[in-house]
């Protein structure tokens, strides 16, 4: 056990170097803000693609936030792809037809045989029907800030990017699950911004990303990555990166933060994270996979160490020391991200959530390597 303790300690020291790199890289990302006194107005048309499956509880809020955008409505095209919903999603979307909202039923574009990537197919259909040069992607359960479109287009024009990853936060509810998700996801977003800014890995979230339509066609869209149910974001980003490595960007702007609700149950939460973990099988970036495996290994070792404590309670002090050390190493980075995402009030729970984070990482990491999970009432391979 003494040797195992020191092995974990060495891993944590290496982990400290990695976390500090992420923190410093995040802080180096320039904060982007819209020019408030632009002499020339926008001329670029944008298409917002929203795949939706059984989203009657949230689709109205999403569309209302798009309806209220600061960007000229004449340049906004909204395409909602109804993915075989069995609730009132389609009916609700139809009520917004006067607000540049177009409803597309996915069942009209797929054969009777089931496919494994309905979301990718939905986005592909939406892009095929779009008439704009820029594609903006979000999810039906998201709220878009007032200047979301304006931020993305301004950034496109300034940076000449072909693919933009932008920030997402989980917010809402005061339960243990909600607080845990919001802080955990903020950390994941910080790592995303750091590695994209340094152009060393491809990370993003499909709830807030944008890319150039003609480049999507040029790289043959989702062809070659459509065998996995997940990966409409990171796997696609990798294809953009393969062709245009210097024109992939992260938009660090509070004006562009998309907000989404937390999963409402532990089952839904784990299904979501297992879905995310499952797409690692399609990653070409082996360095990213090894980094993820390294973090998983640390948490696995900590979990095993805690189990050993059942036979020797004195080792519990060693476990608590390792947990405290891990928390201290992570806290400066998490504190910075909590400030950016408006989650500072939740930092008081950070240290208490560490044991939960360890077991979540172990479970999601292990189950993500097995085929099959449930998502939105559909069993996915």
Which residues of the chain carry a pLDDT beneath 50?
39
Token pair, residue 235, equals 């796997």
Q: Rounded to whole angstroms, what are the CA distances from 285 to 53, 105, 138, 276, 288?
A: 31, 35, 24, 16, 6
DSSP 281: G
Tens digit of each residue's pLDDT (9 = 90 or more) over 196-223? 999 998 999 999 999 999 999 999 999 8
Angle at 163 between CA 96 and CA 54, to 5 degrees: 35
For residue 303, count other CB atoms closer than 10 A to its CB.
16
What does DSSP say about strands 258-260 and 209-212: parallel, antiparallel, or unpaired?
unpaired
Q: Which residues contact 370 (CB under 8 A, 6 or more apart)?
A: none
What token pair was written down for 152? 């993305």
Phi, psi of 48, rounded to the nearest 5 degrees: -95, 120
Q: Please give the pLDDT value at position 279.
A: 66
Distance of CA 86 to the CA centre of its chain: 26
Percent of the chain topping pLDDT 90: 67
Write down the pLDDT at residue 369. Answer: 67
What is the structure's pLDDT at 322?
Answer: 94
CB–CB of 275/373 below 8 Å?
Answer: yes
| CA separation for the pair 145, 376 (Å, rounded) | 25
Quote the Cα angle for 173-175-177, to 5°: 100
Q: Please give the pLDDT value at position 110.
A: 86
What pLDDT is recorded for position 118? Answer: 86
Q: Is the dihedral of CA 27, 29, 30, 33 positive or negative?
A: negative
With H, G, I as helix, E, B as strand and everything else as coil, classify residue 109.
coil
Q: According to the model, what pLDDT value does residue 301 have?
A: 94
What was the pLDDT predicted at 105?
A: 95
* CB neighbourhood size of 332 (10 A): 12
Check residue 379 and give its pLDDT: 60
Can you read off the two tokens belonging to residue 148? 């979301």
* Strand boundaries in the chain, DSSP class E: 46-52, 76-82, 101-105, 134-137, 142-143, 163-165, 168-170, 209-212, 248-250, 258-260, 373-375, 378-380
What pLDDT was estimated at residue 298? 94
Distance CA 237, CA 165 (A): 9
List, as one string, the DSSP characters of 167-212. -EEE----SHHHHHHHHHHHHHHHHHHHHHHTTSS----TTSEEEE
The predicted pLDDT at position 268 comes to 85
C-alpha–C-alpha distance, residues 193 and 299, integer Å: 23
Give residue for tokens 């909202």: 101
pTM value is: 0.90
**How far is it, in rounded angstroms, from Cα 136 to Cα 152?**
8
The closest of 381, 375, 329, 374 to 354, measured between CA atoms, is: 329
Query: On the CB side of 293, how many CA atoms lie within 13 Å of its CA?
Result: 10
């Amino acid at each position: 056990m003494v040797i195992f303790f020191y092995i974990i300690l060495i891993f944590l020291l290496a982990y400290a170097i990695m976390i500090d790199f992420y923190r410093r890289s995040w802080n180096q990302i320039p904060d982007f803000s819209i020019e408030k006194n632009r002499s020339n107005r926008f001329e670029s048309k944008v298409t917002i693609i929203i795949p939706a499956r059984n989203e009657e509880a949230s689709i109205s809020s999403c569309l209302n936030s798009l309806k209220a955008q600061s960007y000229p409505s004449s340049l906004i095209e909204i395409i909602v792809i109804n993915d075989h919903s069995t609730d009132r999603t389609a009916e609700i979307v139809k009520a917004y037809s006067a607000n540049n909202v177009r409803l597309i039923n996915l069942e009209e574009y797929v054969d009777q045989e089931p496919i494994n990537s309905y979301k990718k197919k939905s986005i592909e259909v939406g892009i095929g029907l779009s008439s704009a040069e820029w594609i903006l992607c979000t999810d039906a359960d998201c709220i878009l800030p007032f200047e979301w479109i304006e931020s993305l287009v301004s950034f496109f024009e300034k940076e000449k990017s072909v693919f933009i990853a932008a920030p997402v936060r989980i917010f809402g509810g005061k339960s243990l699950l909600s607080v845990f998700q919001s802080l955990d996801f903020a950390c994941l977003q910080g790592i995303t911004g750091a590695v994209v800014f340094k152009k060393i890995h491809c990370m993003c979230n499909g709830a807030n990303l944008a890319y150039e339509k003609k480049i999507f066609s040029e790289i043959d869209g989702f062809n070659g990555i459509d065998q996995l149910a997940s990966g409409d974001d990171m796997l696609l980003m990798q294809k953009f990166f393969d062709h245009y490595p210097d024109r992939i960007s992260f938009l660090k702007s509070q004006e562009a933060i998309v907000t989404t609700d937390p999963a409402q149950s532990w089952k839904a939460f784990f299904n979501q994270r297992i879905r995310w973990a499952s797409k690692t099988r399609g990653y070409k970036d082996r360095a990213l996979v090894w980094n993820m495996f390294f973090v998983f290994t640390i948490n696995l070792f900590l979990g095993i160490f805690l189990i050993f404590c059942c036979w020797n309670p004195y080792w519990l002090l060693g476990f608590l020391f390792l947990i405290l050390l891990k928390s201290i190493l992570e806290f400066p980075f998490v504190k910075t991200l909590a400030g950016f995402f408006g989650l500072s009030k939740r930092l008081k729970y950070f240290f208490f959530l560490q044991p939960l984070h360890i077991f979540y990482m172990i479970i999601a990491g292990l189950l993500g390597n097995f085929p099959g999970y449930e998502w939105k009432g559909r069993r996915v391979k």
